[in-house]
């Protein structure tokens, strides 16, 4: 089956975003995790995404919690920052979340976009 031009464009956008993007479904499983999210959160390439988000993102539990809270409240978060300690390095991450609905306003899941905004030292 051939991929539609819209589908190819969406894939290209997700692959080339400089910021992280993670989307979960209504069951809390990861639907989309772009390469920038893997890089920023230092996630392994072989990460099993067919798990609840809190298990898939064990190395970044704050991000799993933000996604699950957004799913529970169905309230998007605009322009927040989180100080995140990863290994021995503290990072400042700017993020926002969104509620994902289909054309009939049925809940499909939620997503987070984020960027490492740690000042250069």
The domains of the chain, with CATH numbers, are 5-116 (3.30.450.20)
Supply 78's token pair: 């605009």
pLDDT surpasses 90 at 10: no
- Cα angle, residue 28 at apex, residues 62 and 37 outer, rounded to 5°: 50
pLDDT in tens, 36-85: 999 999 888 887 878 889 999 988 899 999 999 999 999 999 999 999 88
Percentage of residues of the chain with pLDDT beyond 90: 64
Beta strands per DSSP E along 11-117? 20-25, 30-33, 80-86, 89-101, 107-116
pTM beyond cutoff 0.75:
yes
Beta bridge partners of 13: none
């Amino acid at each position: 089956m051939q991929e539609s031009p819209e589908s190819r464009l969406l894939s290209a956008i997700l692959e080339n975003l400089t910021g992280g993007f993670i989307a979960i479904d209504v069951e809390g499983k990861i639907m989309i995790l772009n390469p920038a999210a893997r890089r920023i959160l230092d996630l392994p390439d072989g990460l099993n995404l067919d798990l609840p988000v809190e298990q898939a993102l064990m190395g970044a539990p704050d991000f799993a919690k933000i996604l699950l809270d957004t799913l529970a409240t169905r309230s998007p978060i605009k322009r927040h920052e989180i100080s995140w300690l990863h290994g021995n390095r503290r990072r400042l991450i700017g993020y926002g979340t969104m509620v994902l609905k289909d054309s009939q306003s049925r809940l499909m899941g939620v997503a987070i976009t984020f960027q490492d905004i740690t000042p250069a030292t």
